[in-house]
Amino acid sequence: MGQLSRGRSIKHSDRVLLSSVTSLEPDDNHRLMMSFQYKRRRSGRRATIIMLNPSAATVDMADTTVRRVEGVTHQLFRQISEVHIFNLFTVRGKNPSELNGLLQKNGREALIHPRADDLLRTSLKDSHLAIVAWGGPCGIQKDLYVDRLKNMHEILGLARKVVRVSGGHYSPEAPYPLHGRLWSYRMQAFPYDMP
Determine contact, residues 80/161, Cβ cutoff 8 Å: no
DSSP, residue by residue, 53-110: ---S--SS-EEHHHHHHHHHHHHH-TT--EEEEEESS-B--SSGGGHHHHHHHH-GGG
pLDDT at 3: 46
| CA dist., res. 195 & res. 191, Å (int) | 13
The answer to whether position 102 is within a domain reads yes
Place 96 in a pLDDT band, splitting at 50, 70 and 90: confident
The answer to whether position 1 is within a domain reads no
pLDDT at 7: 58
Burial class (CB in 10 A: 0-12, 13-18, 19+), 125: exposed
The answer to whether position 100 is within a domain reads yes
Place 195 in a pLDDT band, splitting at 50, 70 and 90: confident
In this predicted model, what pLDDT tens digit does every residue of 64-81 receive, in sequence order? 999 999 999 999 999 999
The answer to whether position 168 is within a domain reads yes
pTM over 0.85? The answer is yes
Determine contact, residues 85/34, Cβ cutoff 8 Å: yes
Which DSSP helix (H) or strand (E) runs through 121?
helix 116-125
CATH code: domain of residue 138: 3.40.50
Q: Is residue 134 pLDDT above 90, yes or no?
A: yes
The answer to whether position 44 is within a domain reads yes
| CA dist., res. 81 & res. 73, Å (int) | 10
The structural domain count of the chain equals 1
User: In sequence order, what are the residues at sequence separation of 6 or more whose Cβ sits closer than 8 angstroms to the Cβ of residue 19?
Assistant: none
In this predicted model, what pLDDT tens digit does every residue of 148-165 receive, in sequence order? 999 999 999 999 999 999
Q: Is residue 5 pLDDT above 50, yes or no?
A: no
Residue 139 phi/psi, 5-degree rounding, is 90, -10
C-alpha R_g of the chain: 15
Place 101 in a pLDDT band, splitting at 50, 70 and 90: confident
The answer to whether position 128 is within a domain reads yes
Residue-range definition of the domain harbouring residue 108: 9-184
With b for 16 or more beta-carbon neighbours within 10 A and e for fewer, the 35-59 pattern comes to bbbbeebeeeebbbbbbbbbbbbbb
In this predicted model, what pLDDT tens digit does every residue of 28-43 receive, in sequence order? 889 999 999 999 998 9
The answer to whether position 153 is within a domain reads yes
The answer to whether position 95 is within a domain reads yes
| CA dist., res. 138 & res. 36, Å (int) | 27
Residue 106 phi/psi, 5-degree rounding, is -120, -5
